[in-house]
Chains A and B, each alone.
Chain A
């Protein structure tokens, strides 16, 4: 009892300056065990702390409080407390104990899932992510948690705001896999297929020593999105993908590869029968919606192919070649595609003719020049980053040690000019 109260006063006293907070952290670390032991009685003490001032202490207390098993009643009260704490806490203090903060946030998520109210967690979790990360390039463990909440609450737009930032620094590979996987799903939800493809591709090609379920699921979605977006799938993974992925992914996603093959043949009837036959499989993978989009995209793909070949074509002919039931249906498809900017055409309803036009973009406008300029700027920054990275790695003692060893093993010939080993 005393110890807790003593701790409380220490927290209150030592939360003002940075150096005080550091010493407070040591005190709290030592008291962690005892806090845990008394976790059941801690709740009332929280009221005596101000989360905006005594963030670190509050965090330790809160972590100890929430350590026990969660019930529905306790969850609803805790959710409120944690949400308030996240919004008012001080970032500098939190970052001193990131583990504690992450575990509190994870419990927060668990509680929300238990209550089945993921929407309530979206905003606080976003704040938590922002407070925890050092820079926008830094991927925290909370990123995937946040995206998961967004997915469950169907707040795809909020999720996109995070996904737009480029991530380069990663603490845990698993965080990245999940982040990219959930991110890919959010992008699919928003129909940003390009971005989704990029994210899923990152998972599939990420260096990994053993195959994992996230990568397999991501590859399935990657196949489908690639079909929707590009209308084709290159079945070979790039060289830089890890060996395990190269060897195992395809055999684990056979029905999807088959789907891609029958898509490539361009025969709609075949594709549909294949989908019908494997409906259960796709359904159990929760990919049925995407598969249906794949099927409908083949119509678009075929219409787009017609634009390469024809200047004018009657709706009837379109319906015939694309295997639609009626000219009316063909008209709807063409109309939709014109609206989406996927083809350039005009429909003449009087004779039922469609006139395909060339891309009206002439690359002469100021906006276009600006766009190109921006792209160049962006690429230059990226390029510089790459050079910096390269320099850093080539100076990295660990890397050099490894590279030196390997050189010695493989190239006996050129060892005079190159130092084989760096003993640092």
Chain B
């Protein structure tokens, strides 16, 4: 799949891996840490940054570490994250990002972590050389008009730009290979590169379009590729706030993904991210998905609680996960919305089977006050998500069954009135038009 040959863990391969990570590791933070420590998450538990970072590689790792540093209140964690980002950057060639990180460290980590000007100059110099070399190579390929070589040339350019953090140029280069793709394998390679870069850029519209392009290739895709594409699509849907579709995509991710990229902790990530959506969508009886769940016991517990109506513990698990989720690069924007939706869903499910519900008991089950619960229920009833009415005096919620017969009568009368109104207005307008037209015609004559 990662088209490039040998060169153990060649940049190309690494990037693919990243890309997929970038896609699916979204909520990994929490899950991964929990797995390692193998005990239930307790709220406020700090993220083990080293463990977290070990799950990723390449650019994603750096971006995630920087993100962590930006969003973490704990200065110790911040510095730790920045330190690791610094080390990681030193291995790569992205001088621009390096300078940014150094600025963020701001001398807090001692003299070892300051701007290394000589290193920067050296890397930049090398980069210029390599760029010249790539350019001359590409020109040579182009004069020879060998499609495959040109494609490789552009690909190399894309890799080069990507390594140096010029994402826009990298994207352009990758897309240019499209004209020189001869087999569907090449096309898929192009799509995956483009998807990876556009995820990094945050251009999720591109992600969707390249996912669909990749899926349209005539040859059957191998399972890991399918899984990657599903992940990318899921992520794109997540960013577009189409949670339902995102959940569906994440659910479709096959278990093959985890096996093919052991250094990526994709499986756990997926299970987490999708579970958040599953709760709203009630898609649980998916055998493939079970496999993922087994990897993340907390999430599995959470879902089991949800389905066996132990809402309090379910919400507790969620609350514990929240602080870590907020530190995730992809999902943090959506945490609040998703949590609200999960809560509403739980409330709706709780009330569904009953004719009358004692709100005091319900408040206990949800660990909230009766007044607070009343407010929540009120907004749900107003949105027509729960068909019930609140007896505020006795604090009981009564299910309300609409009287079909009366409703029909009401609707009939209303429709009749509307029809009446419409027809009369129509006749009037027709007459006016006719009159005007006649007038104009008579004037002409």
Contact = CB atoms under 8 A, between A and B. Distances in A.
Interface in B203-217: none
Interface string A163-203: 00011111101001000000000000000000000100110
Contact of A312 (B391, B406, B409, B416): B391
Contacts of B417: 375
A207 B436 contact: yes
Nearest to B434: A393
Contacts of A201: 425
A328 interface: no
Contacts of B419: 379, 382
Interface stretch (B183-191, B255-263, B298-306, B392-400): B392-400
B382 A305 contact: yes
A354 B93 CA distance: 72
Given A169-B431, A206-B432, A372-B412, A382 B420 contact: yes
A231 to B, nearest CB: 14
B117 interface: no
Contacts of A166: 424
Interface in B423-444: 423-438, 441
Contact of A351 (B393, B421, B425, B434): B393
B392 A317 contact: yes
Given A173-B435, A398-B438, A398-B441, A375 B428 contact: no
A399 B390 CA distance: 60
A309 B432 contact: no
Nearest to B371: A317
A386 B427 contact: yes
A297 interface: no
B428 A202 contact: yes
A170 B378 CA distance: 51
B381 A309 contact: yes
B406 A362 contact: yes
B431 A168 contact: yes
Contact of B427 (A171, A207, A378, A385): A385
A412 interface: no
A251 to B, nearest CB: 23
B441 to A, nearest CB: 5
Contact of B389 (A205, A311, A376): A311
A375 B420 CA distance: 9
B428 A168 contact: yes
A410 interface: no
A260 to B, nearest CB: 20
Given A305-B382, A372-B412, A372-B413, A198 B392 contact: no
A359 B390 contact: no
Best-surrounded residue of B381, B425, B428, B433 (most CB of chain A within 10 A): B428
B151 to A, nearest CB: 47
B392 A207 contact: no
Contact of B378 (A205, A309, A314, A358): A309
Contacts of B377: 309
Contacts of A422: none
B393 A176 contact: no
B435 A170 contact: yes
Given A207-B436, A359-B406, A398-B437, A309 B425 contact: no
Contacts of A375: 413, 416-417, 420
A363 B394 contact: no
A269 interface: no
A6 to B, nearest CB: 36
Interface string A330-372: 0000000000000000000001010010110111000010001
A372 B416 CA distance: 9
B405 interface: yes
B381 A382 contact: no
Interface string A284-308: 0000000000000000000001001
B406 A361 contact: yes
B425 A205 contact: yes
A205 B428 CA distance: 11
B390 A310 contact: yes
A308 to B, nearest CB: 7
A22 interface: no
Contacts of A361: 406
Contacts of A415: none
Nearest to A392: B434
A389 interface: yes
Given A198-B421, A379-B420, A383-B423, A170 B406 contact: no
Contacts of A362: 406
B420 A378 contact: yes
Given A310-B392, A311-B398, A173 B436 contact: yes
A234 to B, nearest CB: 14
Contacts of A402: 437
A313 interface: yes
A421 B436 CA distance: 21
Given A166-B424, A311-B389, A379-B420, A207 B429 contact: yes
A314 B393 CA distance: 7
A257 to B, nearest CB: 22
B428 A393 contact: no
Best-surrounded residue of A167, A311, A396 (most CB of chain B within 10 A): A311
A205 B431 contact: no
A202 B423 CA distance: 12
Contact of B430 (A310, A312, A314, A389): A389
Contacts of A312: 391-394
Given A359-B406, A361-B406, A168 B393 contact: no
Contacts of B413: 372, 375
Nearest to B388: A309
A202 B421 CA distance: 10
Contacts of B412: 372
B428 A311 contact: no
A408 B251 CA distance: 56
A351 to B, nearest CB: 7
Nearest to A306: B378
Nearest to A401: B441
Nearest to B386: A309
B296 to A, nearest CB: 39
Interface string B154-168: 000000000000000
Contacts of A358: 403
Contacts of A368: 409
Interface in A183-240: 198, 201-202, 205-207, 240
Contact of B392 (A240, A314, A376): A314
Contacts of A351: 393
Given A171-B435, A311-B389, A311-B391, A389 B425 contact: no
Nearest to A242: B429
8 contacts: A168-B428, A206-B432, A312-B391, A312-B392, A314-B393, A382-B419, A389-B427, A393-B430
Interface of B: 377-378, 381-382, 389-394, 398, 403, 405-406, 409, 412-413, 416-417, 419-421, 423-438, 441
- Return the 5 tightest CB-CB contacts between A and B, nearest first: A363-B409, A312-B393, A311-B391, A313-B392, A311-B389
Given A378-B420, A398-B438, A402-B437, 18 more contacts: A167-B428, A170-B431, A173-B432, A176-B428, A202-B428, A207-B436, A240-B429, A308-B381, A309-B389, A314-B392, A351-B393, A356-B389, A358-B403, A362-B406, A382-B423, A385-B427, A396-B434, A398-B437
